Amino acid sequence: MQELDTGLEAQPGFISAHMVAERAGVSRSAVSRAFTPGASIAPETRKKVMQAAAELGYQVNDLARGLLANRSRLVGLVASDPASPFRTQQIAALSRRLVERGSVPVLIPTGSGEDQVKAAHSTLLRYRAEATIVLSGMPSSSLVELAQRNGQPLIVVGRTEHGPDHIRVDNARAAQIAVEVFVARGLRKLGLIISAVGSPNLIEREEAFVAAAAKQGIKVRTQAAGYTDYDGGQAAASLLLGTGDTVEAVFCVNDLMAFGLMDYARDVLNLSIPEDLSVIGFDGIPEARWGAYRLTTFHQDEEILSNEIIKVLDQRQADPKAPPIVSVIEAPLVYRGSVRSLKSDG
């Protein structure tokens, strides 16, 4: 077996397979066979190669091998909001798991537009990435078709459409629980804070919360803001709470918006949380535990999500022609101090 000569090994500081072969007194092909699982090589020859490699500090050129095999160990992580707290945790956890698996994670930040996500995926295909994982954005049918034509696994997170393998949180169940928690505490004047981003996860949470409330005979006051961040939470709070109409409890589609809402309610309107206003968030980012917020929130465990992504990736590579894999993860509600307790109801 020959190792592809890309010129990369000639760079200063890189120990080449040719140098190992010379030191061990064997052919270069013997070096390649020594580092190829299952390849035929005499035990004594392999021992010589490994000793020479250890003495020189040689590392296998995985990029060259990937080009030979028409597939690298790169796994692309496509994300439109990598700086947000939840996405940062998700990327860190998933990257650790991929490295443990022997893969090389590559983060490609994009905008939320379809063209930008498609361009990122095309780049990964050119580099023969073994898979693309879309952590945010809206992959189009053409992107899915492109992946299928090239035989590359495509896993999307937080989506529901048919086609690629996808993993999502059970938003509908979480929204239903949020309504049940509020109603059990006698809170029926409900508000909902969303953003104009319109991602599938956020839309699911909004629609499910409104529907669950309607079953209780409650009409939800919904307020949207431009972005799903702290400033968006403040802006939405000023419109939702600043009208004079009483709102007793608010479900926020993520924790950052909940933080903005809580600070506006306390600092501007002098409301007490949870006595005057109960708040539930979504994501369970570390800041939700901080004393300033003590936010009751649905926790998306990044380790559980990462393990599930790896599981789906392994299943897909083991059976490329299997039907699309759909995995739904629960997000348990973590109670803290932003929701009125049951025992305090009068």
Q: Residue 125 in contact with residue 335, Cβ under 8 Å?
A: no
Domain spanning 8-68: which CATH class is it, in words? mainly alpha
Residues 6+ apart with CB under 8 A from 74: 66, 103, 104, 105, 106, 124, 127, 128, 129, 130
For residue 38, what is the DSSP state? T
Q: Of 71-80, 166-175, 224-233, 288-297, give the lowest mean pLDDT range.
A: 71-80
**CATH node for 171-299+333-344:** 3.40.50.2300
Q: Residue 24 in contact with residue 31, Cβ under 8 Å?
A: yes
Q: How confident is the model at residue 5 (pLDDT cuts 50, 70, 90)?
A: very low
Residue 64 scores a pLDDT above 60: no
Q: Residue 3 in contact with residue 61, Cβ under 8 Å?
A: yes
H, E, C per residue of 103-140:
CEEEEEECCCCHHHHHHHHHHHHHCCCCEEEECCCCCC
Residue 244 scores a pLDDT above 90: no
Half-sphere exposure of 210 (CA within 13 A, CB side): 13
* Separation between Cα atoms, residue 32 and residue 53, nearest integer Å: 12
Q: How confident is the model at residue 312 (pLDDT cuts 50, 70, 90)?
A: very high
Architecture of domain 74-169+302-329: 3-Layer(aba) Sandwich (3.40)
Question: What are the boundaries of each domain within the chain?
Answer: 8-68, 74-169+302-329, 171-299+333-344
* Separation between Cα atoms, residue 43 and residue 208, nearest integer Å: 63
Percentage of the chain beyond pLDDT 90 is 51
Same CATH topology for 8-68 and 74-169+302-329: the answer is: no
As a dihedral over the C-alpha atoms of residue 78, residue 85, residue 88, residue 283, rounded to 10 degrees, the angle is -70
Average pLDDT for 284-288: 96
Q: Residue 175 in contact with residue 212, Cβ under 8 Å?
A: yes
Residue 223 scores a pLDDT above 90: yes
Which tokens is 267 given? 């600092």
Q: Residue 233 in contact with residue 288, Cβ under 8 Å?
A: no
Q: Are strands 296-299 and 278-283 parallel, antiparallel or unpaired?
A: parallel
160, 173, 190: which is closest to 278 by C-alpha?
A: 190
Residues 6+ apart with CB under 8 A from 308: 167, 327, 329
Which tokens is 339 given? 């929701």
For residue 45, what is the DSSP state? H
Residue 332 scores a pLDDT above 90: yes
Q: How confident is the model at residue 82 (pLDDT cuts 50, 70, 90)?
A: confident
> Which residue is associated with the tokens 């990462």?
306
H, E, C per residue of 135-199:
CCCCCCHHHHHHHHHHCCCEEEECCCCCCCEEEEECHHHHHHHHHHHHHHCCCCCEEEEEECCCC
Read off the pLDDT of residues 142-156 as tens digits, 9 standing for 90 and up. Answer: 666 666 667 788 898
